[in-house]
A and B are shown apart, each in its own frame.
Chain A
Amino acid sequence: MGHPTIYPTGVTIYNPEKAYNGFTVISAPDMGAILLNMNGAELRLWKDLHGFPNKIFPGGHIMGSTGTRNPKHALQDQLDVVQVNWDGDIVWKFDQAEFVEDPGSEPRWVARQHHDFQREGNSVGYYAPGMEPKIDSGNSLILSHKNVSCPFISDKPLLDDVIYEVTWDGEIVWEWLCSDHVEEMGFSEAARNAMCRDPNFRGGSLIENAPAVGDWMHVNSMSTLGPNKWFDAGDTRFHPDNIIIDGRETNVILILDKKTGKIVWQVGPDYDTSRELKALGWIIGQHHAHMIPRGLPGEGNILVYDNGGWAGYGNPNPGAPTGVKTAQRDYSRVLEFDPVTLKIVWQHTPHEAGFLIPLDASRFYSPFISSAQRLPNGNTLITEGSNGRLIEVTPEHEIVWEFINPYRGKISLPMHWIYRAYRAPYEWVPQAGKQDEVEVKPLDTMSFRVPGAAPLGPQSSVSVAGTIGYYSGAGHCVAATE
């Protein structure tokens, strides 16, 4: 789909009455972490603080990392996970996962963190009533990489996902390795065949002489379940300490038992094996699958940004001739579903956004990154990551806040991308002071013109004899599915 070359950036819609007013943190490409107010004022830039993701914690603390390993030697490995205060001082750091000797760099400890982390006190890393992440103590869960060999998956060297629980002092006290549990994930023979040949093998595809690794699962979110009604009712699969992750490449979302390490709940890799899964529909290349924390509307449900795009292993098809990235869809969905019945409770798809599926569906579409955060007033903050659009939508799908990222990557990805944005309550950043909340009404895009452009409307008109007007719902080249 074509996008306009010229368009407004920053905050383009803001309804203070309906939005959950607070601060928003984004990772601006090649810049650092930026704290925004509701009108888009950039209140603070933590310069060059990487965010995979950046998260705001109480006291004006921000989480991130000081940088990444050179991509010639590693794929998406963050050097560390750091907690930084308002003044930019690092008050906590974890990097002692592996000691590496990358050519051209001093030998050093690195975290190899990627995509997510959590701090004790809060299950998901965003605001929920009575669930503040600790800022001066507590353990952290860190999602990291580890190089492994696992012939069950492939004969290729693999880039595996590992979860560490680390103490405030940085000692690893618990570890879970994803490939250990591949046999529990239920991959079909066709999927295993394709995965064996190409476990998302990215040798040399990123940068010249990059290491050859099979990023077979590509876990991109990791959080604990926290207290929830399912466990309270006796369903031990949902123990508060259990961890939910999702694998972009496999279309799997799973919950692992913290004590045994075993997978106790799962959707994917296939979504055609039961009536419930068929109703849920294919979740493809998803991001940020998590359980909505207690105290927020929808608590206990799974919230996920179902990207679409391309992912999964299986039988070859015309769109995936080698059986890799077999599921494809060119629009996104944000799903909130019941983890027991798998019924969709709420969703925001192109349909709810007002775009015809499939004709206009790609107007709500990010084939990678992205996220969804449930807010205390029931709204949902959605990061449509690839084009850097943030929207806050009400349960009725009204956009009450929209922000378009003005910053385009110049060094890394040449896009306006935002990996994952978070909204935090004002009281979490007292240093920023009181903020004005000025309504931003949506422009009338029909009449809005840039300087020099002609105004809306024909300068003259004439009736044509014999014309009969238009039908609604007229046939088009492609059938609409709804």
Chain B
Amino acid sequence: MSVTIYTAPNCARCTILKEFLASRGEDYVAYDFLADKDIFSAFYREHRACLHRDEENSLEFPIYDDGSRVLQGIGEILAALIAGDGLAGCVGTTGLLHGWISGINVSACPAGEEEHLLILLQLLTKGGLSVHLDCDGRRPELLEKILGEGLAARLTLNILGPAEMYPDMADGPLLPDDMKRSVALARATPGAVIRFLVAAHGPAGSLRISPEQAGQAARWILELCGDRMLPVFIEAGPAGSLPALTDQDLLAYRAKVRAALVRAEINRPQQHR
């Protein structure tokens, strides 16, 4: 099965992929989307439906095509090459350009895939990328190992809702000690952000916590960490099949969270150029 990769000039992510393929002794053909624009254009026309663009409306490189599948983005490509589908649940579409990479949720790493995730993070870090890691309170032992090895430059701890909703929202239970440990790790990590991520979950994308449930989760976090001054943000995530939440909608969430964690604030994207 022949492998073709499409790259961009001066692309660190593309270099990481080339070196990875070379280290495994795999043959491949590489095309630069500018220098080989006719070839790339033909490929793009055929596969545009399965390619995504980032928030700056740029195509993310590298793109990997082995004839049976097309993969895009260094995170997804390496995850697939290292672990097959093993890391599919914890490595999503990788965003954040300019030297950063995101879309990796350590808490969703399946049991038995820990070493693969570590290898992935090592390759990204060694290749010069700064990893923005997400977690949701689960797998604190793996998070601690990753942080200990310096494989995450930035950390976001997402609180999805009350613990009892985790099985439906995150495909796995959340234990109090795990969340307690995760909060402690986040607090000990410079620049880490703890946020209530109000997003749609579930197969139909229709399960989203209410302000009261956010408040319930906040009281629980307060019980675990014992610090009402814990800095936390509230942020709207993907809305799925539900109406998107506005900043004004989030005020009700903030009010309920602040009843326990008094420094809660709405995290909004930068408003100005």
Contacts and interface: CB of A to CB of B under 8 A. Distances in A.
A183 interface: yes
Interface stretch (B77-85, B185-193, B249-257): B249-257
A173 B251 contact: yes
A152 B272 CA distance: 6
A241 interface: no
A206 to B, nearest CB: 25
Interface in A157-190: 171-175, 179-180, 182-183
A109 interface: yes
A182 B272 contact: yes
Which bucket holds chain B's interface residue count? 10 to 19
A171 B271 contact: no
A101 B247 contact: no
Contacts of A151: 272
A91 interface: no
A50 to B, nearest CB: 24
A101 B229 contact: yes
B229 A172 contact: no
Secondary structure type dominating chain A contacts: mixed
B45 interface: no
Contacts of B258: 96, 99
A96 B257 CA distance: 12
B263 A99 contact: yes
Given A99-B262, A99-B263, A175 B247 contact: yes
B229 A175 contact: no
Interface in B231-250: 247-248
B170 to A, nearest CB: 29
A180 B262 contact: no
A99 B264 CA distance: 10
A175 B251 contact: yes
A179 B271 contact: yes
Given A96-B258, A109-B262, A171-B255, A180 B248 contact: no
A179 B263 CA distance: 21
B273 interface: yes
Contact of A175 (B248, B262, B263): B248
A182 B258 CA distance: 28
B244 to A, nearest CB: 16
A101 B227 CA distance: 13
A308 B229 CA distance: 44
A172 B263 contact: no
B229 A173 contact: no
A152 B273 contact: yes
Contacts of A171: 252, 255
Of B252, B263, B272, chain A has the most CB atoms within 10 Å of the CB of B272
Interface of A: 96, 99, 101, 107, 109, 150-152, 171-175, 179-180, 182-183
27 contacts: A96-B258, A99-B228, A99-B229, A99-B258, A99-B262, A99-B263, A107-B229, A109-B262, A150-B271, A150-B272, A151-B272, A152-B271, A152-B272, A152-B273, A171-B252, A172-B251, A172-B254, A173-B248, A173-B251, A174-B251, A175-B247, A175-B251, A179-B271, A180-B271, A182-B272, A183-B272, A183-B273
List 9 tightest A-B contacts by C-beta distance, closest first: A99-B262, A152-B272, A180-B271, A171-B255, A172-B251, A175-B251, A174-B248, A173-B251, A172-B255
